[in-house]
Structure 1
Amino acid sequence: MPDEPSSAAPSRPSHPSHPSRVLVLNSGSSSVKYQLLDMRDRSRLASGLVERIGEQTSLVRHTPLASGGGPRDGAGGRTRERTGPVADHDAALKAMAEELALDGLGLDSPELAAIGHRVVHGGMHFTEPTVIDDAVLDTIERLIPVAPLHNPANLTGIRTAMALRPDLPQIAVFDTAFHTTMPESAARYAIDVQTADEHHVRRYGFHGTSHAYVSRETARLLGKAPEDVNVIVLHLGNGASASAVRGGRCVDTSMGLTPLEGLVMGTRSGDMDPAVIFHLMRVGEMSADEIDTLLNKKSGLVGLCGDNDMREIRRRVEAGDEQAKLAFDIYIHRLKKYIGAYYAVLGRVDAVAFTAGVGENAAPVREAAVAGLTELGLAVDAERNGARGDGSRLISPAGARVAVAVVPTDEEMEIATQTYALAGKRN
């Protein structure tokens, strides 16, 4: 593909006095997701995905988006797709750069202010967005043992992007950072302190960019400042986590050393007696790797009923499938326990916010999660809860003591916001 925009590409606006575009990269083990945003009006200019990296059937999907409007606005242009071998992350990012150049949005643009990278695990080293240098790269690499599936891929994406634009600020935004405000009473496991410290065993939490964005957006929805609001955030997707946010700061979250702890998820077990592992080793003669696969990939909803798509599970429940109903009931039981626990942790709750794929779209989950909690001030209005909508909205009855809200998450916007703010401080 050509390195320069085609004649049909939209014309660029004149170069502003300060660069305002941020490229957000989320590098997985075999995929790269990206979005290009203009932070002057918080609009999306383009988004895309390169997946199945390293295979002959790699897919490049790119969508140019109309500028202007809010974070989720803009009809944009037609999505372009192509398949063929993309050998590695270097080739993937070059394919991304080619697609952006076709729309007049190339990586060589002087309007590009910074590149923001999603990094899953920052341990206790990184409590805020961080400009990447060799020392930061080394620390992320040292954290690979606690994030073996994610940090290596994140590092590969960072190093590739740094090679493409070595002159540009590259900023890491960590999934764990929002949760570093947890007190030690919430972050510590009750095991031998010396052993825990030696092996960095503690509760880190994940989905932090989502919890940060949604807690702040919930405060805005209520017409209040984040520091004046206590929120329980329920990030419910294939991966799921809950957080207790007091005055804009996380004080507890459901995921722990890894994303396995906490709620029932699509394929992950969530909370369970750790002695189950020893039992499976001794009685089931399973290896550590087999148990790891069981708990992370063959448990949760898919382990309980064979499906991890909530839409299909609800269809089966409504058709009278008892196995699907049991899986749904277990999912809700765990979710309700966390709502109650975090209500107790916070003492006062102003809102419960549902977000991510299941949280935003599954009205039966929201209804069931707060059913029977009217003594805590929690309820949903059936009509509001059942109504479809793209934006943030209240689904609790008018005048409810505790607001129940649906707040679409926007992790890319959160990463871009944090990246742009830090890049601005450097200029």
Structure 2
Amino acid sequence: MSTVLVINSGSSSIKYQLVDPGAGTAVAVGLIERIGESQSHIVHRTDGHTEERRLPIADHGEGLRRLLAMFDAVGPDLTAAGICAVGHRVVMGGRHYDGPVVVDQEVLDRITELCPLAPLHNPANLKGIQVGLALLPDVPHVAVFDTAFFRNLPAAAATYALDREVAEKYAVRRYGAHGTSHQYVSAKAAEVLGRDLADLRQIVLHLGNGASASAVAGGAAVDTSMGFTPLEGLVMGTRTGDIDPAVAFHLERNAGMSVDDIDTLFNKRSGLKGLTGENDLRLVHKMVADGDDAARLALEIYTRRLRKYIGGYAAVLGGLDALTFTAGVGENDATVRAGAVEGLEFLGIRIDPDRNTDRIKEPTVISPDGAPVAVLVVPTNEELAIAQQAASLVPAEAGAGRPAAG
């Protein structure tokens, strides 16, 4: 067996999977959350068994040591698993990376340099890599960037109409996000349809608490809704999505709000939460069913924005062959999917109501037979994508690593 340990290190959490990239399966899945709080929580699942622990975990270093200890105590044995690489999710790769890269000091320096462009994510990603290198020093560590799939967007899509010198000096451009998911899902959609990826014009809607759309032509991204930061684009759980930037000037001048206040408002107190008080669409649907007009309006705003991007990206692509929903909302919310395509029959986009069921767990075509545009639900698997990209950089004869002592 040859496996990849995939680590997604957040500000107060570590998600991890031990993945067999060849078989496309997870051997073990785990989560460490509330790092740095008085009572942290570990969940480790493998071979039908779930093990949970509640104990204080001071920092990510201790968290990763606990992670390795769970493998020792519960399994599978990491030596027998033959780890060939450790794959790390990194949100921001900036203009430097259009694919995965084996971590060395230069890569660490680049990720550090890019922290101001992703202050909530890159520092935590970096911490996970640094601790991982110390605990598993004999295994190649690979950084897989959320932005890589969008690194080579056409200049007309990546460039803002901003003073060129300012944009260049401060690295202002469209970077996108969720790229690992968009790349995986667009390739999987072609496979499900039995079509050559190179011949397909696709739109992918990654709808979770964070949400993004992409236009993909021949397997390459040509546009995406998230921009310089993950704030731009679709309506999200707590983020505004597209908004006139002059709103920030207005609030600073007339409401006395600071830059930090406005940042918090736009990123954490807006979107569905700002409109309804709830950022979970399941609760928004319940509010709509109970007759809440604010929730009904929020759902209309949410789906209208989706239709706007679908129409716009169909124009960018010069037509459309496939529209794919993915991520938590995209995979599980039939109402949102139906609302997203309502009125788009003129583009050849239709959904079969009998196929559009909640909680679709396998890649499924939900458009009617013979429809001009295939509409699909494809569950995303970013961990598998990271594992496969990491394994692609590692020589087949690379030996398995062992955790360092301590």
Pick aligned residue for 1:39 from 3, 21, 25: 21
- Measure the CA separation in 2 of the matches of 1:256 and 1:40: 33
- Measure the CA separation in 2 of the matches of 1:289 and 1:106: 46
- Measure the CA separation in 1 of the matches of 2:160 and 2:25: 42
Q: Percent identity?
A: 56
- Measure the CA separation in 1 of the matches of 2:358 and 2:166: 51
Within a 5 Å distance, the mapping from 1:225-240 to structure 2 comes to 225-240=196-211
- Measure the CA separation in 2 of the matches of 1:388 and 1:358: 9
One-letter code aligned to 2:121: H
TM-score with structure 1 length normalisation? 0.91
- Measure the CA separation in 1 of the matches of 2:239 and 2:200: 31
Corresponding residue for residue 171 of structure 1: 142
Q: Taking CA–CA contacts closer than 8 Å with sequence separation of 6 or more, which of the two structures ends up with the larger relative contact order?
A: 2
One-letter code aligned to 2:278: D
- Measure the CA separation in 2 of the matches of 1:119 and 1:63: 24
- Measure the CA separation in 1 of the matches of 2:396 and 2:162: 41
1:345 is aligned to 2:327: no
CA pair 426-111 structure 1, distance change in 2 beyond 3 A: closer
1:154 is aligned to 2:148: no
- The Cα offsets for residues 188-213 of structure 1, whole Å up to 9 and x where unpaired, read as 00000000000000000000010001
Secondary structure (helix, strand or coil) at the match of 2:323 reads strand
Pick aligned residue for 1:93 from 64, 67, 89: 64
Corresponding residue for residue 299 of structure 1: 270
Corresponding residue for residue 355 of structure 2: 384
CA pair 21-332 structure 1, distance change in 2 beyond 3 A: same
Contact preservation (8 Å) 1:97, 1:106: no
Corresponding residue for residue 372 of structure 1: 343
- The Cα offsets for residues 275-329 of structure 1, whole Å up to 9 and x where unpaired, read as 0000000001100000000000000000011111111111111222101001001
- Measure the CA separation in 2 of the matches of 1:234 and 1:110: 35
Secondary structure (helix, strand or coil) at the match of 1:383 reads coil
Corresponding residue for residue 3 of structure 2: 21
Secondary structure (helix, strand or coil) at the match of 1:323 reads helix
Corresponding residue for residue 369 of structure 2: 398
More displaced, 384-393 or 292-301? 384-393
Contact preservation (8 Å) 1:61, 1:82: yes
- Where structure 1 has 5 or more consecutive residues not aligned to the other structure, the ranges are 1-15, 66-75
Secondary structure (helix, strand or coil) at the match of 2:369 reads coil
- Over the aligned positions, Cα root-mean-square deviation in angstroms equals 1.2
Contact preservation (8 Å) 2:349, 2:374: yes
Secondary structure (helix, strand or coil) at the match of 2:156 reads helix
- Measure the CA separation in 2 of the matches of 1:176 and 1:426: 30
- Where structure 2 has 5 or more consecutive residues not aligned to the other structure, the ranges are 399-406
Pick aligned residue for 1:313 from 279, 284, 300: 284
- Measure the CA separation in 1 of the matches of 2:396 and 2:250: 53
Within a 5 Å distance, the mapping from 1:319-334 to structure 2 comes to 319-334=290-305
- The Cα offsets for residues 125-151 of structure 1, whole Å up to 9 and x where unpaired, read as 011000000000000000011111100
Within a 5 Å distance, the mapping from 1:215-254 to structure 2 comes to 215-254=186-225
- The Cα offsets for residues 171-199 of structure 1, whole Å up to 9 and x where unpaired, read as 00000000112111000000000000000
Secondary structure (helix, strand or coil) at the match of 2:133 reads helix
Deviation at 1:422, TM superposition (A): 1.1
Deviation at 1:107, TM superposition (A): 4.3
Deviation at 1:110, TM superposition (A): 6.9
Corresponding residue for residue 250 of structure 2: 279
Secondary structure (helix, strand or coil) at the match of 1:114 reads strand
1:127 is aligned to 2:98: yes
Corresponding residue for residue 30 of structure 2: 48
One-letter code aligned to 1:348: G
Deviation at 1:406, TM superposition (A): 0.5
One-letter code aligned to 2:40: S
Deviation at 1:421, TM superposition (A): 0.9
Secondary structure (helix, strand or coil) at the match of 1:424 reads coil
One-letter code aligned to 2:125: N
Within a 5 Å distance, the mapping from 1:412-427 to structure 2 comes to 412-424=383-395, 427=398
- Measure the CA separation in 2 of the matches of 1:355 and 1:292: 28
- Measure the CA separation in 2 of the matches of 1:425 and 1:377: 45
